[in-house]
Structure 1
Amino acid sequence: MIYTILFVLLIIAIFAGTALTKSSLIWNADGISQHYPALVYWRKILRAWIFYHRSLPSWNWHIGLGQGTIQTFSYYNLGDIFTYPSIFVSQAHLGIYYSIMILVRLYFVGFSFLWAAKRFIPTAKKNSLLIASFTYIFTGYSAYAIFTHPFFLNPLIILPLLAYGLYECLLKNKGWLLALAVAWTIFNNFYFAVLLAFGMFVFWLSLLLSNKHFRVVKNNTKMVISVLIGLLSGSILFLPSFLQLLNSSRTKVPFANGLSFYPLKYYLSLPGVLLTDQNTSYWFKGGFLAISVIAALWTVRRFKKYKSLGYVLIFSSLILLSPIFAAIINDGTSPNNRWSFMLSLPLALATIVFLENLDSVDKKDLHILAILGFVIAIS
């Protein structure tokens, strides 16, 4: 309840200007040329299907030079559960609906994290959980997604459920949540399914390295079975999208654009991007709240105590430095660090741990943070 009140107050402070100026959150680029028209058309065919029992059209000559409807809309709308209530909204109010659903998505981003964080760290105090939930919501990635690609927020809702489902399966041999989360992941969007799968692989590896309790063969077998059940459940949308991807012009480029290292500018600006989100090169959207970056450093310094979080943060840092890894995650094409939105989860969890142990901050921590602040300022 406290989270909801705080969220509403923040949303009013941030977005009141949109309502007062009678504007919308439809971006004057992809929003107006792709996402809103897609919603308009999707609502039309969905209403025809549900209310008048007409079959979904398989082809549309008005999409590009002609495209398969199911393949195209499986990326934009079909897997996005927040588009389905649009059938009850009139055409005249669809623009308002589009904007409201962005805020609803944001609410569930924080709610999902709050639900999972309480289970990851059951001893955490309410204030720590609340602060961390807002560090999870408000990042450079979400600031970008709100205005440009609203359905890019959906993976932030799924990520905590997926991570806790994996954690619970390995620790307690319960696979139902993992199976449901994987099914939603696959159904939601094939591209983000690939990114989330990679993220979960890194998380799984970190758990195995950090604690022998996660290495039980029976539990890991249950995990594989749960993932396969989820994969098969969501394949009705995943397979058409994947087949379309194989024929896409975006997949016909040299691996990693021929790069072995990023240009020097990328490395020089990287520390600054952690807080400011000023550099959009190779799709790294930082813009994390300062307390999350401080918490990450504090956690890594106490690696022996927080091994699983430490491994995730170290692996992620190494991946950010290499275009080869970024290309592998991006289907083997051009380097793309869009996966970095997943960093918001370990950073937010580290924030909880940090806030719960503020009395352990010592002079060495302060010296390290002072050096980091200087490096970020120069960057």
Structure 2
Amino acid sequence: MIEFFQHPFAGITTWSWKYGLGSDTFQIYSYYTIGDIFAYLTLLFPASKIIFAYQVMIILRMYFAGLSFAYFAKHLRLQNSTIIVGAMIYIFNAYLLYANVAQPFFTTAFIIFPLVILGIERILQGKSAFYLTFVFSWMFINNFYFAFILGLGGIIYLILRVLFNYRKRLDYWVTFKKLSFASLTSLLISAGLLLPEILAVQSSTRAGSLFANGLKTYPIYYYLALPSQLINGGNRDFYFWSALGFSSIAFFGVCFILLKYKRYPLLASTFILSFIMLLFPQFGALFNGMMSPSNRWTLMLCLPLSLAVSELLEKLPTLSDRTMKYLAYLTFAYITVVGINYYFQNSEKLFIPIIFLLVFLGMLFWIRYGKSIHPYRLANGLIIANIVLNAIYFETPYNGGFANEMLPNGAYEKLLKNRYGGLDDDIAPSNTFRVSTISNNFFLAKDFKMYNTLNEKLHGLSSYYSLQNQYLGDFSRNMQNIQYETNVPLREFDDRAILLNFLGVKHLFAQLNQPNDNKIPYGYHLSQSTRLIHDVNQKASKNQQMRRYTTNYAFPLMYWQNKVITAKQIQSLSVTQKERLLSQGVLMTKKDATGLKRLDIKNDTVEVPFKLISDRGNIVDPSNLQNSDKNETYRIVLNLEELKRTKQLPKNSELHVEINDIKYTPFSFKKQIQFEEKNQADDLTKGLLASNDRLAYYKYFRYHVLKGSPDMSYNITVNSKLGAETIAQPRQSKTSFFKIVNNGTMNLGQFKTLPDSLKLTLSKMGTYNFKIKVYAQPFTSDYQRDVKQIQKHAVKNLSFKQNGVSGDITTDQLGVITSSIPYSKGWKLYVDGKKVPLYRTNQAFVGFKLASGKHHINLVYQIPGLKLGLTLSVIGIILLIFSWMLQFKKRISI
């Protein structure tokens, strides 16, 4: 962005090679950043003060959120003193405590939402639609995701407001025209950003996710925790993003509104409807764009809750004795419910909210019946004290506070400088190759990961962004990458040598004595290492060293192939066999492959016979495996004698375990507890007197309730002497990180001689049904020859620009240029100055046919929908100006 303002006529960077394999810059930043006006204010600060600027923007955002609430509440003719109290509730809650530390952009929705409601209210009162048009335009430009949430919230407000207040006196046709004008015009004005954003989402890995993660109801622990969530401002669990956590006085605000529902039908119905919506995951999924059940819509509850507190304090001096008694009764009933749950799901963070609940109850009675000189100052002081103590629980290092997850000052700069121990200093930066680390090996600190290499000179394979290329995700899943995540589609690709070569990974970095430090892929040799740091206690397992491995088999970024493969040819092949074909031909659709030579597939992958044997000594059938003992493990015993007999025993091969058609059925809740009790009773390792049947039942009952059992999650882990790999089915509570996992290919490492057996472990009890096969992929001279041929046919003289890449190549026959550049509809291809059709090759990458001869290739990237969006924005602005001029002329004539 700074580069654009410094050189505005140089154009914008539409494609960057630093985002993993490369990505649309708009797609990367559109989800949270591009439309955020506060992000641009950081440009006023020097680069050296960017962290300070970030902190200033947090304070500024919160100030404007409070200002927005105050502006809205002023229209309700509330007193300034009660508005200030409400504003404190509005801007200091668990949701914003989290947002301002982790994702300050969320705060902008708190600024916009009161303005949206006020704009709708103005139209219902017969006023102009221009105000709502401005607010809607800001809402859409700011971010389409929150625009969707706030838009639905606005619709609900409109329906309820009309139902309770305007039903009989509203001019429906005029109101409809004004709302339609505001909606249509704002959509047009914002189309320059909104349309590319929508297209980016539709072409991302987020598209097509399972509605509500397949949940019909939430797990029991969610319902148990829900009552306390209202006032637990130190809470960070945020089950399914049901982020409430207000000052304890919010409880009395809700009770007051519900007790006076006839006076406040809109607020009362809002609370009742919100409570119902919190009970069912379908509502969370609806507000989350028909995807995972994320209750981020609860951010809108901050407005009515804060207003409820303001209304309570406004009417407090006139409340009846009966109302005050009800408030007291409801308080002790609420404490009873929360207290009972505490003994089941205890959390010390509830003590402060409960104490302040009683303090606020006393305050209400003191203000109502006493002679408090400055009642609202008292209320505000207590609210601030409550907020501060909530924040202490939320943020401080002890008890797992958020401060534990924050980097010390200067830590990130230190990481950028020393991430690879200086082993990257002698590597010249280039867009033609990538680097990576060994899977699960690179330890930064507990719970810290670094997927992105945006600020490094080298381009990392992995990347973590909200919107990732859909085709790249499809490629990763089709190759059964066990590390695939929606936001991180590749990661380290499980250290599979051919895939790393194909993706252009030239250097790998590994830390000594960290997981998988010996699982070095084929062809990567130790090229440099740091000084070995010996453990002070002389424990070799604690020695430290950084190592760099380099290969000569990395594929070029763009290269020519003369053989193609169609989906029909490979439909019966294993994933390992398909992986091997990446060095022999190019996968294309049958239609796109017309006129090109087909590859004569020759399989050199070896299927290894095996038996699955329990550590109890019996042979196990994986198609119906009942695991009733969580301590039971299994061994995949390889039949190497059979391979010797048939002269197929490979040497120097990568060993893969492919597991397909996984179906896991957990035992019922009752049955799980029975098996747990039985296993404990049979376990004599802790002594005969250690067994306590009653305690065991409660312990396992509580454990499974809090874990949400039974659920569909499981882990299947396979260990070799070189490392361990896991196929993991996440819980449905993982919201946007949830995925359906029914297969996976695990790379157990490169072996000169295959091991006799592998260890297989199942994480949970239940019935497993899966198909398992073991493959050895030998690396022979044939593979080396294939790679050398690819490197020989690389596109030469690559020149990288802000919007693409160009290069030269000479071929002697018709073939295909393929690449590891992620495919997108935004790519345009020009060969010798003429536009040529592009194809999606190898499932996810840019490719095209090329006739024989000498050619200059120019790939140009245009952000999909940007031109059309900007055109619509201009039309929207013209329409708004024209409408305003007509309105102005009408006023003058009157």
Q: Distance in 1 between matches of 2:72 and 2:199?
A: 34
Contact 1:133/1:348 (CA < 8 Å) preserved in 2? yes
**Contact kept in structure 1, 2:42 and 2:50, CA below 8 Å:** yes
1:368 is matched with 330
Pairing 1:311–2:269 present: yes
Letter in 2 for 1:139: N
Which runs of structure 2 are paired with 1:210-249 in the superposition (5 Å)? 210-211=164-165, 212=167, 215-217=170-172, 218-249=174-205
Which of these residues, 188, 206, 210, is aligned with residue 160 of structure 2?
Answer: 206
Q: What is the 5 A alignment of 1:191-340? A: 191-211=145-165, 212=167, 215-217=170-172, 218-276=174-232, 277-340=235-298
Q: Give the aligned residue type for 1:304.
A: K
Partner residue, 1:96 = 52
Structure 1 equivalent of residue 33 of structure 2 = 77
* Structure holding more helix per residue: 1
Aligned to 1:377: 339
Unmatched runs of 5 consecutive residues or more in structure 1: 1-41
Amino acid at match of 1:227: S
Most deviating of 106-115 and 286-295: 286-295
Secondary structure of the equivalent of 1:304?
A: coil
More moved, 204-213 vs 128-137: 204-213
Unaligned 5+ segments in structure 2 are 342-894
Q: TM-score, normalised by structure 1?
A: 0.84
Partner residue of 2:123?
169
Q: Is the 8 A contact 1:161 1:177 kept in 2?
A: no
Which residue number in structure 1 is paired with residue 690 of structure 2? none
TM-fit CA distance, 1:68:
1.2
Paired with 1:221 and 1:370, the residues of 2 have a C-alpha distance of 50
RMSD: 1.6
Aligned: 1:145 with 2:99 = yes
Distance of 2:335 and 2:182 partners within structure 1: 44
Superposed CA deviations along residues 197-243 of structure 1, whole A, max 9, x for unmatched, are 11111111110221126743122331222122122211211111111
Q: Can you list the C-alpha shifts for 1:97-155, whole angstroms capped at 9, x where unaligned?
A: 11111111011010111011101x11x11110100011000011100001100111110
Instruction: Determine the C-alpha separation between the residues in 2 that align with 1:322 and 1:158.
Output: 27
Supply the distance in 1 between the matched residues of 2:151 and 2:185 (Cα, whole angstroms).
15
Contact 1:274 1:286 in 2 (8 A): yes
Cα distance in 2 for partners of 1:80, 1:266 equals 33
Deviates more, 1:359-368 or 1:156-165: 359-368
Letter in 2 for 1:151: F
What is the CA-CA distance between 1:286 and the residue it aligns to? Answer: 1.2
> 2:67, 2:137 → 1: CA distance?
20
Which residue of structure 2 lines up, in the alignment, with residue 341 of structure 1?
299
Check the 8 A contact 1:262/1:322 in 2, yes or no: yes
Structure 2 residue identity aligned to 1:365:
L
Residues 367 and 173 of structure 1: CA distance in aligned 2, closer, same or farther (over 3 Å): same
Indicate whether 1:352 and 2:307 are aligned. Answer: no
1:207–1:308 CA contact under 8 A, matched in 2: yes
Q: How does 1:115-130 map to 2 (within 5 A)?
A: 115-119=71-75, 121-122=76-77, 124-130=78-84
Q: Work out which of the two has the higher radius of gyration on C-alpha atoms and give 1 or 2.
A: 2
AA matched with 2:264 = Y
Cα deviation, 1:161-185, whole Å, max 9, x if unaligned, reads: 1111111111233212211111000
CA distance in 2 between counterparts of 1:216 and 1:368 reads: 42
- AA aligned to 2:171 is V
Query: Do the aligned partners of 1:47 and 1:87 also contact (CA within 8 Å) in 2?
Result: no
Tell me, yes or no, if the aligned pair for 2:4 and 2:10 is still in contact at 8 Å: no
Paired residue type of 1:216 = D
The aligned counterpart of 1:131 is 85
Alignment-mate amino acid for residue 309 of structure 2? T
How many Å separate the matches in 2 of 1:117 and 1:186? 24
Partners of 1:345 and 1:213 in 2: how far apart?
Answer: 27
Greater RCO (Cα-Cα under 8 Å, separation 6 or more): 1
Deviation at 1:375, TM superposition (A): 2.0
AA of the residue aligned to 1:240: P
For residues 248 and 130 of structure 1, do their structure 2 counterparts lie closer, same or farther at Cα, with a shift above 3 Å needed? same
Give distance in 2, aligned partners of 1:67 and 1:215. Answer: 50
Distance in 1 (CA, whole Å) between partners of 2:327 and 2:44 is 54
Structure 2 vs 1, CA of residues 278 and 59 (structure 1 numbering), >3 Å: closer, same or farther?
closer
Segment of structure 1 superposing worse, 81-90 or 297-306: 81-90
**What amino acid sits opposite 2:89 in the alignment?**
T
Tell me the percent identity: 33
Q: Is the Cα–Cα contact under 8 Å of residues 171 and 213 in structure 1 kept in the other structure?
A: no
Could you tell me whether the CA contact under 8 Å between 2:94 and 2:236 is conserved in 1?
A: no
* Contact 1:255 1:333 (C-alpha < 8 Å) held by counterparts: yes
Q: Secondary structure at the match of 2:31?
A: helix
Structure 2 vs 1, CA of residues 296 and 46 (structure 1 numbering), >3 Å: closer, same or farther? farther
Alpha-carbon distance between aligned partners in 1 of 2:291 and 2:31, rounded to the nearest angstrom: 18
Q: Is the 8 A contact 1:198 1:329 kept in 2?
A: yes
Deviations 1:271-308 (A, max 9, x none): 11111124322111111112122111210221111111
* 2:220 aligned partner, one-letter code: L
Tell me, yes or no, if structure 1 residue 86 matches structure 2 residue 48. Answer: no
Do 1:202 and 1:315's aligned partners in 2 also have CA atoms closer than 8 Å?
no
Write out the 4+ residue segments of structure 1 that deviate beyond 6 Å after TM superposition: none
The 1:74–1:180 alpha-carbon spacing in structure 2 relative to 1, beyond 3 Å, is same
- Tell me if the contact between 1:173 and 1:222 (Cα under 8 Å) persists in the aligned partners: no
Give the 3 Å change call, closer, same or farther, for CA 149–46 of structure 1 in structure 2. Answer: farther
Quote the residue 1:187 is aligned against.
Answer: 141
Q: Which amino acid aligns with 1:225?
A: F
Structure 1: how far apart are the matches of 2:175 and 2:332? 43
2:820 matched residue in structure 1: none
The one-letter code sitting in structure 2 at the alignment partner of 1:154 is T
Structure 2 counterpart SS, 1:332: coil
Q: Distance in 2 between matches of 1:98 and 1:73?
A: 17
Letter in 2 for 1:364: Y
The number of residue pairs the alignment matches comes to 333
Cα distance in 2 for residues equivalent to 1:221 and 1:145: 37
Normalised by the length of structure 2, the TM-score is 0.36
Q: Would the aligned equivalents of 2:231 and 2:250 in 1 still touch at CA under 8 Å?
A: no
- Change in Cα spacing, 1:323 to 1:215, as seen in structure 2 (3 Å) is farther
Secondary structure of the residue aligned to 2:293 is: coil
Corresponding residue of 2:16: 60
Q: Is the 8 A contact 1:171 1:219 kept in 2?
A: no
C-alpha distance in structure 2 between counterparts of 1:65 and 1:192, whole Å: 29
Q: What is the rounded CA distance, in whole Å, between the counterparts of 1:254 and 1:168 in structure 2? A: 39
Deviations 1:36-73 (A, max 9, x none): xxxxxx3x334335xx4321111111123222112322
